Amino acid sequence: MSDLIIDTMSEKDIDPVLSIEQASFKNPWSRISFLNELSNKYSHNFVLKLENSFETYQIIAYLCFRLITDEIHILKIAVNPEQRSKGMAFKFINHCLNTFCEQKIKSAILEVRQSNTAGIVLYEKIGFGIEAQIPNYYSDTHEDLILMRKTF
């Protein structure tokens, strides 16, 4: 990840994050949702920046999670569609999780739609396993929710 930089998300990052969000999700978060995460004391939000030229970066991915006692709850992860299938999400998530694992984190959990097979494969590659499946959870598509957990 030599041309890539992981940085803490700030308010100035919201516009490019919203662009990725809208390209990635059927029901995207709003600006206020991201601003609320930035102000939540349990929330940790990161962006992955690709260096374009000297001191110029493009945000190509983001990750939002909450740290509650000894567990990470991943809320959002998305990569710019033009940058997918290059292994960046794998490295990005692993780096962020490993950074917090040093703080006696016992597990990380996330929810994923059953139709998001690429996401499920990625999460399994990172070490997440399926913990539960909730049928017809999503009202817009009536698809199942898959709850995944990784223990450390």
- Crossing angle of helices 14-24 and 31-39, in 10° steps, is 120
Domains of the chain, start order: 4-151 (3.40.630.30)
What integer pLDDT is reported at residue 45 of this predicted model? 96
**63 exposed, middle or buried (CB, 10 Å; 0-12, 13-18, 19+)?**
buried
Task: Collect all residues with Cβ–Cβ distance below 8 Å to 87 and sequence separation of at least 6.
Answer: none
119 phi/psi in degrees, rounded to 5: -65, -45
What integer pLDDT is reported at residue 24 of this predicted model? 94
- How many other CB atoms sit within 10 Å of the CB of residue 12? 7
Residue at token pair 């999670």: 65
Average pLDDT for runs of 10 along the chain of length 152: 83 97 94 97 94 79 94 95 90 86 85 94 96 94 95 90
- Give start and end residues of each alpha helix (H) in the chain: 14-24, 31-39, 88-101, 117-126
